[in-house]
């Protein structure tokens, strides 16, 4: 009798689990293939909106070097006097996160108001890092929210992630780029597994009239997401047994900050002349995706497409993943892209750290070359590219979090800063061309590489090749989610 009851319970449980899996697959996967992008009141004008003949009061600093970019974040937080607003996709445990977390607490202890907005699924503040969430929530000057936390009952919310990487300090300076917080993004030369990315810092040189600065648009955007229904405070963070853990966590972070200042004194209290490092700009613009569920109206992609259509000489693109699907191409008029040169810099299979994304790219790789575009693949193999950058006609540039793939186009929040500046465009182009000429190979029409004087094709392990090929058999049906 007991055996029969156990079998019935097992059968019922199996049935419920099976029903849930089917429900999750339909509403969390298949639904996105058929859902039309939301059409809002947003409009994307022609590319001329990003140009100006007058000089802007906003100036731009380029942060290319990994280590320098980490120091820049420390300096910005150390010198904050009123507010720090930060949004990030993910964090990785290590020295970099220790420095970032402890410096945030140090700023909050000085009276700076800190708001942290993180993706609700991929924030990684779990396990040993959960005490940091408690500590932040307990501090009176730190407020923390998660964008679209995991909701088992609504699988359609799983795919719309917060992919922004944005820091705004005192409404005077803002950093935008593609770096998450982790050692591989800020490691010095020689770090195995390093991720090469790119950030820029926007400086408002005249705070007497901040409405004329792009920083006002960036702060408005952050405020909008912060108060949005999709952004939630962590649950159970201010009461119960977590109070003790929170106090201990704060004490640990304060001690850690003092320890880090002693061990790595060269990383703190730097004398940085931001103005001296900056480039002038005719105009600085800010574009972002709308805050919607399911498939979004692809505003960032439309803006970038309009600039590609408006370019007459050259288009230079860097993206770690390149997966231009049919749905994406519907928003760009290829007959209006008349640039003589369109070049793409991306990762090779040997360099990529994301074989899932590469499996999608591998299916369209030769098609891209056949269309007349030039592809240069960074060979690595101990480093990979993670920067997201566009340069049009050696004048207008875009830097931020947007990857050339369906996920950035239709699913995730994304931010890009568009800069009308020949000097800044030249600096970007020089850095990207250095990767292309000295560390990459050009893809031929048959999918092989063209010969290079000294850059060799890096070997790929049989396991990585096999995994990529196997994944490509599956991802071909789900490119809209990659």
Residue by residue, pLDDT tens for the chain (482 residues) are 666 677 788 878 888 889 999 999 999 999 998 888 877 655 555 778 899 999 999 999 999 999 999 999 999 999 999 999 999 999 888 999 999 999 999 999 999 999 999 999 998 887 777 788 888 888 999 999 999 999 999 999 999 999 999 999 999 999 999 999 999 999 988 899 999 999 999 999 987 776 789 999 999 999 999 999 999 998 754 444 467 778 888 999 999 999 999 999 999 998 899 999 999 999 999 999 999 999 999 999 999 999 999 999 999 999 999 999 989 998 888 777 888 899 999 999 999 999 999 999 998 999 999 888 999 999 988 999 999 999 999 999 999 999 999 999 999 999 999 999 999 999 999 999 999 999 999 999 888 999 999 999 999 999 999 999 999 999 989 999 98
**Which regions of 234-332 does DSSP assign to beta strands (E)?**
283-288, 314-318
Residue 385 neighbours by CB distance under 10 Å: 29
Q: What is the CA radius of gyration of the chain?
A: 23
Report the alpha-carbon distance of residue 337 to residue 420 in Å, rounded: 19
Report the alpha-carbon distance of residue 475 to residue 482 in Å, rounded: 8
Domain coordinates in residue numbering, the chain: 1-34, 47-51+283-481, 58-275
Is the pTM higher than 0.85? The answer reads: yes
Contact criterion met (CB below 8 Å) for 177 and 165: yes
Report the alpha-carbon distance of residue 139 to residue 473 in Å, rounded: 49
Share of the chain above pLDDT 90, in %: 75
Beta bridge partner(s), residue 440: 378
Q: What pLDDT is stored for residue 239 in this prediction?
A: 40
Distances (CA, A) of 217 to 31, 194, 221, 254, 443: 33, 32, 6, 34, 40
CATH H-level, domain 58-275: superfamily: Endonuclease Chain A (3.30.870.10)
* Angle of CA points 20, 22, 25, to nearest 5°: 105
What's the fold here for domain 47-51+283-481?
A: Endonuclease; Chain A (3.30.870)
Beta bridge partner(s), residue 114: 84, 142
Report the alpha-carbon distance of residue 272 to residue 294 in Å, rounded: 43
Q: What pLDDT is stored for residue 331 in this prediction?
A: 87
Report the alpha-carbon distance of residue 348 to residue 277 in Å, rounded: 32
Q: Judge if 47-51+283-481 and 58-275 fold alike in CATH terms.
A: yes
Q: What pLDDT is stored for residue 237 in this prediction?
A: 45
Report the alpha-carbon distance of residue 242 to residue 258 in Å, rounded: 24
* Angle of CA points 423, 369, 357, to nearest 5°: 85
Contacts 24+ apart (CB under 8 A), 471-478: 471/355, 471/356, 471/359, 472/359, 472/360, 472/362, 472/363, 475/356, 475/359, 475/360, 475/363, 476/360, 476/363, 478/29
Please list, residue by residue across 102-117, b when 16 or more beta carbons sit within 10 angstroms of its beta carbon and e when fewer do: bbbbbbbeeebebbbb
Report the alpha-carbon distance of residue 140 to residue 149 in Å, rounded: 23
């Amino acid at each position: 009798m007991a055996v029969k009851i156990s079998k019935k319970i097992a059968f019922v449980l199996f049935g419920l689990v099976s029903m849930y899996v089917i429900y999750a697959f339909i509403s969390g996967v298949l639904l996105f293939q058929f859902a039309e992008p939301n059409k809002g009141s947003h409009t994307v004008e022609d590319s001329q909106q990003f140009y100006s003949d007058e000089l802007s009061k906003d100036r731009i600093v380029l942060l290319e070097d990994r280590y320098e970019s980490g120091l820049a974040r420390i300096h910005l937080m150390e010198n904050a006097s009123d507010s720090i607003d930060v949004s990030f996709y993910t964090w990785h445990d290590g020295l970099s996160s220790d420095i970032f977390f402890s410096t945030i607490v140090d700023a909050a202890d000085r009276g700076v108001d800190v708001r942290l907005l993180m993706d609700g699924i991929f924030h990684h503040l779990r396990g040993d890092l959960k005490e940091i969430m408690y500590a932040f929530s307990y501090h009176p000057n730190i407020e923390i929210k998660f964008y679209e936390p995991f909701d088992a009952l609504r699988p359609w919310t799983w795919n719309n992630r917060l992919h922004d990487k944005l820091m705004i300090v005192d409404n005077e300076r803002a950093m935008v780029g593609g770096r998450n917080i982790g050692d591989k993004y800020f490691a010095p030369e020689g770090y195995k597994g390093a991720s090469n990315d790119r950030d820029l810092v926007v400086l408002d040189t005249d705070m007497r009239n901040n409405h004329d600065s792009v920083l006002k648009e960036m702060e408005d955007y952050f405020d909008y997401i912060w108060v949005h229904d999709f952004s939630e405070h962590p649950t159970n963070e201010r009461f119960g047994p977590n109070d003790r853990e929170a106090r201990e966590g704060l004490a640990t972070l304060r001690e850690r900050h003092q320890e880090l200042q002693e061990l790595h004194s060269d990383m703190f209290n730097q004398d940085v002349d931001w103005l001296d490092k900056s480039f002038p700009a005719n105009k600085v613009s800010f574009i972002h995706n709308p805050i919607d569920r399911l498939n979004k109206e692809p505003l960032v992609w439309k803006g970038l497409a309009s600039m590609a259509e408006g370019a007459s000489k050259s288009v230079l693109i860097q993206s770690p993943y390149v997966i231009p699907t049919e749905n994406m191409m519907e928003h760009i008029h290829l007959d209006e892209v008349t640039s003589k040169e369109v070049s793409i810099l991306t990762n090779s299979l040997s360099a990529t750290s994301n074989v899932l994304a590469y499996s999608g790219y591998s299916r369209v790789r030769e098609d891209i070359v056949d269309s007349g575009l030039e592809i240069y693949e960074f060979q690595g193999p101990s480093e990979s590219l993670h920067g997201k950058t566009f340069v049009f006609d050696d004048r207008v540039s875009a830097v931020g979090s947007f990857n050339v793939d369906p996920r950035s186009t239709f699913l995730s929040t994304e931010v890009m800063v568009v800069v009308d500046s020949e000097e800044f465009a030249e600096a970007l182009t020089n850095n990207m061309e250095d990767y292309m000429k000295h560390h990459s190979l050009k893809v031929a029409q048959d999918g092989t590489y063209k010969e290079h004087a000294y850059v060799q094709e890096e070997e790929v392990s049989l396991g990585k090749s096999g995994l990529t090929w196997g994944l490509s058999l599956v991802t071909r049906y789900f490119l809209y989610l990659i």
